[in-house]
Each structure stands twice: as structure tokens, then as C-alpha cells.
Chain A
Amino acid sequence: NAGVMQNPRHLVRRRGQEARLRCSPMKGHSHVYWYRQLPEEGLKFMVYLQKENIIDESGMPKERFSAEFPKEGPSILRIQQVVRGDSAAYFCASSPPDSRGGQYFGPGTRLTVT
């Protein structure tokens, strides 16, 4: 049973470009969460999605960031017009419908904005 998969593992973008981060949840998991770990800071919640629905986006920056989890395919975290402050590790986690079993994390995507 494959774990949570994220790609790419490393992504370099110039300022002003777009970054697309992908996350495939564990088999049988229909809930996806995105977290961001800024350098020298802790992990912060960004958004919680179920298939075709955004459930909680209270941690998402108001501009340039968006997330989706389509009926088919991986969840996508999209950052438009990236700035240097977006450089961070972005982690995806998944859980089954009953979150009592906790969340399982992927290896992360490390975004570097030059």
C-alpha cells in the first residue's frame, strides 16, 4: 500500500512564475490536507479538501494561492506569481473519512524561488 505521494520533490521557480504541487493520497483516503513549513518555522495548516470540495481554507494566504482536489487525479496546490517568501517545504497529508486514525504525510515538495 503506497503512502502519500508528492511531486515534484524539489521545484525551482523564478519570481513571478507559477508553481504547481501535486499530491496523491493513500489508497482509500478521500481527505487531503496541505501544510507549509517555512525556514526555521513550524508546520502551518493551509487547506483541507475532500473530493471536489474545499472544506477549510482558513490557513491559505488570501492571494495567489489556490488548491483543488478533483474527482479524478491528484490534489493540486497552485501558487501564482511566486515571490521569495514562498520558498518553503510544502507537505500534503491524507486521512480516511474518519480522521480518528490520524493523518499520514507525504515526503514534501521543497520550493525554491530565485
Chain B
Amino acid sequence: KQEVTQIPAALSVPEGENLVLNCSFTDSAIYNLQWFRQDPGKGLTSLLLIQSSQREQTSGRLNASLDKSSGRSTLYIAASQPGDSATYLCAVSLISSGSARQLTFGSGTQLTVLP
């Protein structure tokens, strides 16, 4: 059974800092990995998607890396802004048939960027 862990559970940083959020998963036979952002009381916004054959993806100030062999992914946020404050979720889908579509989520990292 796939388990996804995110560390830290909460993070508070001053504006302008670069930061790294961590995600680890127990089954390396993943199909892809997605990073999402969730604002309080809102839905999920997809930030980055990394296919199993890829090592990293970049979008603006965000960079996500994937190391399947060690079961880890990191989300790097450069020059953080107060508007980045949200909960960041990591989710993986497995290759195994029957469950290739379902996403398994971590419990999230709650980020607060202080002005």
C-alpha cells in the first residue's frame, strides 16, 4: 500500500526566503507525481506534474524534483511571497493496474509567508 509523507507539517518563513518542501513515498513504481496548492476552504490547484520518466519540472518560481529510486520529491519555492501562503499537497499515482488512476495524497505542508 502506497504511503505518502510530507515534511514539515507546517512552515513559517519571512517574505523573500527560498524554501523547500519535502515529499516521500513508499512504493517507487509510480506513474506520476503532482504538487497541488490548497487555500483554506477552497479546492486544489495543480502546480506541477512530473512523469515517472522525468527528473524535474519548473513553473515560474516553482521547481519540483523527483527521485524515484529514493522515493522522494521536493518542491522548491524561490523568493517566497505572502500570496504563497497555503497548504501544499503532494500526490502520487501508481503503475499497478486497477489503481493507476487514483492519487494517494500526503497530509500536506501548511506554509505561512510573513510580510
Contacts and interface: CB of A to CB of B under 8 A. Distances in A.
Interface of A: 31, 33, 35, 41-45, 48, 55-56, 58-59, 91, 93, 95, 99-108, 110
A100 B101 CA distance: 10
B104 interface: yes
Interface stretch (B17-25, B28-36, B61-69): B28-36
Interface of B: 31-32, 34, 36, 41-46, 49, 51, 89, 91, 93, 98-108
Contact of A105 (B43, B98, B100, B104): B43
Residue of B31, B42, B89, B101 ringed by the most chain A CB atoms within 10 A: B101
Given A43-B89, A107-B42, A102 B32 contact: yes
Contacts, number: 65
Nearest to A45: B102
Residue of B45, B49, B105, B108 ringed by the most chain A CB atoms within 10 A: B105
Given A42-B107, A100-B32, A103-B34, A56 B46 contact: no
A101 B49 contact: yes
Contacts of A41: 107
A56 B102 contact: yes
Nearest to B93: A99
